[in-house]
């Protein structure tokens, strides 16, 4: 019977939670890479075997490890993501850490994308062994303008994240940058355009700025291709015909608002998704509103939202859920999982109706991913 895996990338290593398809009993193994930051770990859904992990140890250079045996053994990339060496007299970028990993389209086995901090895009054609700079983005003449400078970056560094592939077109790519905004390419990464019309950017003087926005998490539905984002300034759905974002977070309860980091899509129903709102008032505490953690679900693409907090701490819950740490599995009914900055993994096996704490006391959780493994 296939196994369900939940991969938890943390500030101090990778942990793997495992259950059978009934999700009744769980066990955890790890840590892998103890003491090293694992920003993202992803099992390739195309072969259900290749596992990649973005790893960085202290001040050492960043790298990617790969495993073909679910972490029993690891092999380091022979050529990790790295920017091209700059010409004499020019300023070159250096990858601080690999932040995001995305398997390419189902029709392109072995092809992966990686996003880094600072904002860079890389591609591998051999399942993570060697990585190449995507020149169409990394050397784009406007890239410096798009990404801003270090003064614009979040405390942990500006990232290129949320790499998504249109399920209907392998060459149609979406990326998110914090900061920078959402961009898309329709030619496999050779050329890029900003995709931020309709998105608020309260921190920019121009309300219609073409770029410079702060998408926290962008998701493309794996079946329909519908596009959603949880932004620094609200929750949005992309009107693909007009290439304009509509703020579906306006339908959230006014006392909750629509600020948050992560967003998770239902594996089958493109109108169902989950968000984890946080306090974006005053000095941006980035904690559950009032210390009462709650997931919110929509089943109508954002026209309405329902609070889902049964089983979660009723009060004094002050953790944060980061942009990579809210995901769904592919089972029926869909399981939903989130990891906290306090090192807890919470799960719902009924699409958010009731929550259970699977694990306590892990390091700060950067990311969760689910996967089915044979």
Q: Is residue 86 within the footprint of other proteins (CB under 8 A)?
A: yes
DSSP β-ladder status, 227-231 and 234-239: antiparallel
Residue 146 phi/psi, 5° resolution? -65, -45
Interface residue with other proteins, options 4, 19, 51, 82 (CB under 8 A):
82
Residue 254 phi/psi, 5° resolution? -65, -30
Q: Is residue 89 within the footprint of other proteins (CB under 8 A)?
A: no
Q: How many residues bind other proteins (CB under 8 A)?
A: 19
Q: Which stretch binds other proteins (CB under 8 A): 14-22, 38-46, 78-86, 304-312?
A: 78-86
Which is nearer to other proteins, 33 or 296 (by Cβ)?
A: 33
Q: What are the residues whose beta carbons fall under 8 Å from the beta carbon of 235, sequence distance 6 or more? A: 228, 229, 247, 248, 249, 252, 258, 260, 263, 275, 302
Interface residue with other proteins, options 57, 106, 223, 303 (CB under 8 A):
57
CB of 1 to other proteins, least distance (A): 35
Residue 293 in tokens: 């953690």
Taking the chain, what is the end-to-end CA distance rounded to the nearest angstrom? 7
Q: Is residue 34 within the footprint of other proteins (CB under 8 A)?
A: no
Q: Which stretch binds other proteins (CB under 8 A): 70-78, 107-115, 180-188, 303-311?
A: 70-78
Of 89, 38, 108, whose CA–CA distance to 368 is shortest? Answer: 38
Q: Is residue 95 within the footprint of other proteins (CB under 8 A)?
A: yes
CB of 165 to other proteins, least distance (A): 26
Q: Is residue 58 within the footprint of other proteins (CB under 8 A)?
A: yes
Query: 10 Å Cβ neighbour count for 82?
Result: 19
Q: Is residue 94 within the footprint of other proteins (CB under 8 A)?
A: yes
Interface residue with other proteins, options 60, 241, 254, 283 (CB under 8 A):
60
Which is nearer to other proteins, 156 or 269 (by Cβ)?
A: 156
Q: What are the residues whose beta carbons fall under 8 Å from the beta carbon of 176, sequence distance 6 or more? A: 160, 161, 162, 182, 215, 216, 217, 218, 229
DSSP 11-46: TTEEEEEEE-TT---EEEEEEESTTSEEEEEEE-TT
Q: Is residue 83 within the footprint of other proteins (CB under 8 A)?
A: yes
Q: Which stretch binds other proteins (CB under 8 A): 88-96, 172-180, 191-199, 254-262?
A: 88-96
Q: Which stretch binds other proteins (CB under 8 A): 79-87, 166-174, 302-310, 343-351?
A: 79-87
SS (H, E, C) 279-296: CCCCCCCCCCHHHCCCEE
Contact 276, 326 (CB under 8 A): yes
Q: Is residue 223 within the footprint of other proteins (CB under 8 A)?
A: no
Residues that bind other proteins (CB under 8 A): 57-61, 63, 76-78, 80, 82-86, 92-95
């Amino acid at each position: 019977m296939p196994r369900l895996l939940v991969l938890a990338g943390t500030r101090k290593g990778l942990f793997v939670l495992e259950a059978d398809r009934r999700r009744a009993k769980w066990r955890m193994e790890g840590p892998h890479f103890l003491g090293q930051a694992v920003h993202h770990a992803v099992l390739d859904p195309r072969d259900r075997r290749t596992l990649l992990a973005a790893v960085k140890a202290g001040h050492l250079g960043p790298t990617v490890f790969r495993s073909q045996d679910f972490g029993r053994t690891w092999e380091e990339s022979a050529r990790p993501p790295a920017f091209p060496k700059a010409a004499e007299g020019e300023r070159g970028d250096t990858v601080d850490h690999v932040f995001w990993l995305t398997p390419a389209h189902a029709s392109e086995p072995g092809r992966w994308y990686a996003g880094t901090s600072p904002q860079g895009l890389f591609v591998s054609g051999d399942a993570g062994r060697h990585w190449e700079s995507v020149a169409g983005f990394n050397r784009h003449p406007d890239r410096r303008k798009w990404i801003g400078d270090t003064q614009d970056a979040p405390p942990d560094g500006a990232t290129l994240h949320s790499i998504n592939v249109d399920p209907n077109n392998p060459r149609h790519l979406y990326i998110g940058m914090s900061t920078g905004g959402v961009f898309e390419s329709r030619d496999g990464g050779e050329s890029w355009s900003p995709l931020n019309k309709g998105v608020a950017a309260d921190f920019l003087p121009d309300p219609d700025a073409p770029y410079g926005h702060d998408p926290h998490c962008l998701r493309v539905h794996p079946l329909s291709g519908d596009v959603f984002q949880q932004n620094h300034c609200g929750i949005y759905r992309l009107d693909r015909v007009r290439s304009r974002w509509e703020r579906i977070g306006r339908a959230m309860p006014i006392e909750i608002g629509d600020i948050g980091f992560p967003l998770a899509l239902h594996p089958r129903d493109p109108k169902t998704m989950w968000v984890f709102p946080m306090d974006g008032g005053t000095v941006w505490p980035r904690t559950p509103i009032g210390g009462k953690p709650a997931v919110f679900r929509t089943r109508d693409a954002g026209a309405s939202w329902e609070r889902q907090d049964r089983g979660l701490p009723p009060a004094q819950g002050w953790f944060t859920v980061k942009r990579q740490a809210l995901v769904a599995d592919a089972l029926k009914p869909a399981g939903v999982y989130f990891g906290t900055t306090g090192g807890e993994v919470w799960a719902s096996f009924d699409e958010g109706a009731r929550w259970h704490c699977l694990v306590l006391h892990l390091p700060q959780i950067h990311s969760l991913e689910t996967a089915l493994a044979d």
